[in-house]
A and B are shown apart, each in its own frame.
Chain A
Amino acid sequence: MHRSLFASFALYSAALLLTLFTLAPLVWLVLMSISSPNDLTSVPLNWWPTEVDLSRYGHLVDLNNGAGHRFLAALRNSLLTAGGATLIALIVAVPAAYAFSRRGASLALLFVFLATIMMPPITYVLPLYEIFGGLGALNKTTTLIIVYSAMLLPFATWLMKSNIDVLPVEIEQAAFMEGASTAFTLRRVVLPLALPAIAATCMLSFLVAWDEFFYALIFTSDLSAKTLPVAIADFSAGRVTDYGVIASVGVLATLPPAILAICFQRFIVSGLAAGSVKG
């Protein structure tokens, strides 16, 4: 079908508008991070930096700089927390997913699992806070890892279950027939076959944990455990007068998920679709 000139014009205008709407806030965040403080405080703004100023990034990766010290500590905590929680969630989720997919565990139970992450965390955070407080476990990366793995677990179980569902069951039956136990079959047969699914699940889980703010805000109180989102909130609320610093922290915190999202878009989109729509 041929499009009329008007339709083409409308189409490309809409595409341009969408591109601007999507990219403008991001581009501006990047520009802020490399503009001089003077450019950022002129009225009206100096949109294009008079000179490219990368010094903030330099400071942020410098342990001896105050901001850098805080940023790098938060980065370390975020990596540890998100990575650790993803690992634990996967280790717990895979057997559970197998039980749902192949051992006839009731799907109602899976829905209960999922309901736990749909409940607002505010509805159970206080008892948790008091329990961890009583154990002297507040402000510890380990505590956050445990809480995050509970947060990631239902979705990871769900995603792995839908992926195990589509593996050919005869291959597992063959393994059982050959005398393998369930654990052996999981390790030697199911996991290798589900590797792409595991990778996708890990990635999505990591991104969710990387993004988490609420628990981190409540359970952490200083550099030893604060994650990037909390550190960024601190930066933006604190005494920093140079908005470019906040912007550059934001850019750095966005880079890992943005790169993952662009590189593994197909994975992520199908994972999100499976996770949110398919029942």
Chain B
Amino acid sequence: MSAISRSREKWVLLFPAILVLSLITVLPFLQTVWTSFTDAEITAREQQVNWIGLENYIWALTDPDFLEALGRTMYFTVVSVGLEGVLGIAVALLLNQKFRGRWFLRVIIILPWAVPTIVNAVAWRLIYHPDYGALNSLLLQLGFIDSYTSWLGDPDRALNMVILADVWKNFPLVAYIALAAMQTIPGDLLKAAAIEGAGAWKRFHSITLPWIIGPMLVVLILRTIEAFRVFDIIYVMTRGGPSDGTKTASFYVYQEYFSYLRSGSGASYAVVVAGISAVLILAYYAGIRRDQRGA
């Protein structure tokens, strides 16, 4: 095929995809950036929109509530992704051993992943229920607590309880990818190390971990990108409460838009969130390239 018709054809093939993505994501995003420099509000009537320069940003970056929400989001992200990483690798190590019933465990591990995010949030909300929740009942019956606790009622504890629910749903993905990476380790390598007298920890530390670190890095950054936008589980479990104890960045922007109807200042928050996400996304691509060079 000639060079000209080939490259023209390439664009014909790409056109629908580019059109859809431009209209639904790229152009709206640019609109958000533009709005962030204005005092626009969400109203039903015609409004005069004024260009106010960096005012929104100055406001956003000095708004302690927003900065706290950012900090909370990072806490949520780091802790849940960290736990998913540790738990995922531990589970993969377990599933990589030979034992009776392993197939069953390998199959059911996918179930938390399959549970819709909202159902997960609802289920855990019921489990944490202060009056009739399963967690209270279980801990009481086992003698760990003396009286029922309001797990999501304490601003300092609520976020951690949400993290637990998030980790339960998301560790399978990490575990499967860790397991897939471990299964590519040549058996002879580990056997040779064992014969050389390397103990289990030594084998994990000097063979398994370096082998799986590339894919793990990539999947954990991807999880970081997802965790950073956390919204659904917060919306259902706590609505950002109590006393803003679980109000994350996405939720904060959501409220600025749809509760306070300030689209200008909301947009500036959104752009800040986008900037942080962009850094994470670039880290993800760097991770992929690193992983491929290593492979």
Q: Chain A residues in contact with chain B, CB under 8 A?
A: 1, 8, 11-12, 14-15, 18-19, 21-23, 25-26, 28-29, 32, 40-41, 43-45, 47, 91-93, 95-96, 98-99, 103-105, 109, 111, 113, 115-128, 130-131, 146-147, 149-151, 153-154, 157, 176, 182, 207, 210-211, 213-214, 217-218, 228-230, 232-233, 235-237, 243, 246-247, 250, 253-254, 257-258, 260-262, 265, 268-270, 272-273, 276-279
Contact = CB atoms under 8 A, between A and B. Distances in A.
A268 B291 CA distance: 22
B118 A229 contact: yes
Contact of B97 (A11, A123, A232, A247): A11
B235 A233 contact: yes
Interface in B120-175: 122-127, 129, 131-132, 134, 136-137, 140-141, 148, 168, 173
Given A123-B32, A269-B110, A277-B291, 5 more contacts: A92-B20, A210-B116, A213-B231, A232-B116, A261-B113
Interface of B: 1, 6-7, 9-14, 16-17, 20-21, 23-29, 31-32, 35, 42, 91, 94, 97, 99, 101-102, 105, 107-119, 122-127, 129, 131-132, 134, 136-137, 140-141, 148, 168, 173, 176-177, 180, 194, 215, 218-219, 222, 225, 228-229, 231-232, 235-236, 249-250, 253-254, 257-258, 263, 266-267, 270-271, 273-274, 277-278, 280-281, 284-285, 288-289, 291-292
A196 B253 CA distance: 41
A125 B32 CA distance: 9
Contact of A233 (B21, B118, B131, B222): B118
Contacts, number: 278
Nearest to B269: A122
Contact of B28 (A21, A131, A217): A131
A119 B25 contact: yes
Report whether over half of chain A's contact residues are helix, strand or loop; otherwise say mixed.
Answer: helix
A8 B6 CA distance: 61
Contacts of A127: 27-29, 31-32, 35
B94 A11 contact: yes
B13 to A, nearest CB: 4
B285 A273 contact: no
A18 B91 contact: yes
B173 A272 contact: yes
Report whether over half of chain B's contact residues are helix, strand or loop; otherwise say mixed.
Answer: helix
A99 B111 contact: no
B151 to A, nearest CB: 14
B257 A258 contact: no
A122 B250 contact: yes
A153 B21 contact: yes
Contact of B122 (A15, A22, A246, A261): A246
Contacts of B99: 8, 11-12, 15
B218 A232 contact: no
A220 to B, nearest CB: 13
A171 B163 CA distance: 50
Contacts of A250: 119, 122-123
A96 B13 contact: yes
Contacts of A43: 131-132, 137, 148
A252 B254 CA distance: 29
A246 B263 contact: no
Contacts of B137: 43-45, 47
Nearest to A146: B24
A95 B12 CA distance: 9
Nearest to B124: A25
